[in-house]
């Protein structure tokens, strides 16, 4: 059979099409493999927690979200109005960006000395309370006859707020800063109020399925249900009874107590608090009501079986 010029051209076209197909498959395969590698190693993951209010997104780092959760929990456990938590979060954001202040050398030495003394007496050494607020310079009361420092730890802050005559949930942020003698200019604090309120709303149980967190699986701490349960009961000593928390090797079940507060859903307050500390204890799933948050998907999804009055935490990752 004699090959004509036209036959040769058709043969070359077929070879070119095959080559293009193979090349496209290689590129696609390489791209998919590269994307899987990037995704599996979480190179593009930006950890943090977020809340959307009226189309506006608010976000915090995992450390900041944990601090906001601690402040909100402290206010709720004391029976304070959620506005007290809004004030605390906004003030801490202004003064210390919702992070604990590092102890200086003198403070570290004093803390170590106290721990050594407790150890000698057979007591468990206690860690100093973290300071989420700024230490102001000398502040002068009426007439300049007395000086006082600003409260810096969580218990100090809320004790001062409860003891301050004239504080009420109706005060605006600037008025609160002035009343509490905060060290920064009072006009600086209102800029953080919207962010504070966005996170305090779910963290005090005023809104379900309202906060979401993206947390890495890489370099995650080992699952610690017992540690989580201890922190939970220590954080809510007044709201949770001794038998409310049951921890196993793989999970934790919280029996939610009834609340007299119509606007406070304890189930969702505990669920959102759990989400904020999930990174520290290796939590994989948080279930509340008809929804479950999964660490891998970083979303709240409806579950086929809903159990009201409990919050379930799973510390085992589903590898499927």
Cα distances (Å, whole numbers) of residue 119 to 112, 124, 139, 227, 255: 10, 6, 37, 22, 36
Of the candidates 199, 187, 101, the one whose C-alpha atom is nearest the C-alpha of residue 150 is 101
Report yes or no on 276 lying in a domain: yes
Report yes or no on 225 lying in a domain: yes
How many angstroms separate the CA atoms of 303 and 290, rounded?
A: 6
Same domain for 167 and 234, yes or no, is: no
Tokens of 35: 């994307």
Backbone phi and psi for residue 159, each to the nearest 5 degrees, phi listed first: -65, -45
**Residue 29 in this model has a pLDDT that exceeds 60:** no
Report yes or no on 306 lying in a domain: yes
How many angstroms separate the CA atoms of 176 and 174, rounded?
A: 5
pLDDT digit string, tens, across residues 239-286? 998 789 999 988 999 999 887 766 789 999 999 999 999 999 999 999
Cα distances (Å, whole numbers) of residue 153 to 144, 150, 255: 25, 10, 30
Report yes or no on 211 lying in a domain: no
Same domain for 148 and 194, yes or no, is: yes
Provide the pLDDT for residue 116: 62
pLDDT digit string, tens, across residues 198-216? 999 999 999 999 999 999 9
In the chain, how many domains are there? 2
Question: Which one of 34-38, 43-47, 92-96, 308-312 scores highest in mean pLDDT?
Answer: 92-96
Beta bridge partners of 139: 148
């Amino acid at each position: 059979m004699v090959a004509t010029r036209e036959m040769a051209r058709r043969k070359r076209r077929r070879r070119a099409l095959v080559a293009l197909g193979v090349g496209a498959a290689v590129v696609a395969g390489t791209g998919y493999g590269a994307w899987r590698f990037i995704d599996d190693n979480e190179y593009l993951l930006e950890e943090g927690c977020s809340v959307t209010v009226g189309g506006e997104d608010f976000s915090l780092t995992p450390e900041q979200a944990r601090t906001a959760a601690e402040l909100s929990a402290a206010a709720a456990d004391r029976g304070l109005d959620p506005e007290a938590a809004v004030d605390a979060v906004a003030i801490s954001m202004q003064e210390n960006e919702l992070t604990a202040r590092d102890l200086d050398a003198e403070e570290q030495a004093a803390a170590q000395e106290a721990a050594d003394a407790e150890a000698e007496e057979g007591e468990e050494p206690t860690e100093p309370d973290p300071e989420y607020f700024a230490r102001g310079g000398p502040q002068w009361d009426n007439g300049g006859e007395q000086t006082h420092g600003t409260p810096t730890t969580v218990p100090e802050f809320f004790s001062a707020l409860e003891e301050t005559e004239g504080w009420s949930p109706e005060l605006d942020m600037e008025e609160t800063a002035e009343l509490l003698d905060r060290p920064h200019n009072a006009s600086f604090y209102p800029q953080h109020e919207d962010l504070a309120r966005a996170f305090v709303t779910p963290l005090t149980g005023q809104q379900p399925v309202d906060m979401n967190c993206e947390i890495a699986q890489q370099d995650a701490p080992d699952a610690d249900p017992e540690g989580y349960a201890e922190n939970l009961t220590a954080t809510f000593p007044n709201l949770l009874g001794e038998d409310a928390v049951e921890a196993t090797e793989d999970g934790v079940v919280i029996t939610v107590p009834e609340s007299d507060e119509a606007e406070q859903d304890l189930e969702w307050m505990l669920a959102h608090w759990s989400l904020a500390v999930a990174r520290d204890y290796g939590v994989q799933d948080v279930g509340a009501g008809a929804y479950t948050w999964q660490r891998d998907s970083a979303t709240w999804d409806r579950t086929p079986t809903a159990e009201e009055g409990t919050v379930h935490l799973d510390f085992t990752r589903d590898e499927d």
